[in-house]
Amino acid sequence: MKKVLTNQGVTNILLIIFGLILSAVLVGMFVSSGKSNKSTPKPVTPVSAPAPTIACGLTILSPKPYQTIGQGFLIKGITNGCGWVAFEAQVGTVQALEQDGTPVSDQTPIHIPGDWMKIMHNFDVVLTLNDIPPSGSAGALIFRNDDPSGENPKSVSIPIKF
């Protein structure tokens, strides 16, 4: 006697096969999650000092606030608009003052090398002190923008030590 599969029989067989496959997948996931992860550790990348935040206007990279300066020293910075725009390759001036406001250097122009028509510029200025205040005394570097119209004067002060 021959048995003929009915629709219900075929459905039952497919459900059993589907259940076995699903069970095998779940068991495989359970077994693999129990194993320890023995992957090769990633090399540690040394962390360097974060890059300075470039604010709109003037950013002084060196000297740092409260840094001790000497007779002649290098000032490095970046200008990028917001009132600090170069004209005829000059973006402003810098001057060293004692804590009481007495100048100890001339106002030194901040010249922009290369294409001064761009908005963002790196600059280097060597500032020479005329008088050297007592060692350990406080002062400031005063940066003033080049503002021929007089409508948008800007200044930035960085505290320093002599």
Q: Which helix (H) or strand (E) holds 160?
A: strand 155-161
Q: Alpha helices, DSSP H only, in 5-158?
A: 7-34
Domain 58-161 matching CATH 3.40.630.40: the answer reads no
Q: What are phi and psi of 139, to 5 degrees?
A: -165, -160
End-to-end alpha carbon distance in the chain: 111
Q: Is the peptide bond before 65 cis (omega within 30 degrees of 0)?
A: no
Burial 86-114 (b: 16+ CB within 10 A, else e): beeeebbbbbbbbeeeeebbeebebebee
In DSSP terms, which residues pair with 112 in a beta bridge?
none
Dist CA 26 CA 137 (whole Å)? 74
Q: Cβ(103)–Cβ(56) under 8 Å?
A: no
pLDDT in tens for each of the 162 residues of the chain? 555 557 777 777 777 887 778 777 777 776 666 555 555 555 544 445 455 556 678 999 999 999 999 888 999 999 988 888 888 889 999 999 999 999 999 999 999 888 888 888 899 999 999 988 887 889 999 999 988 778 888 899 999 998
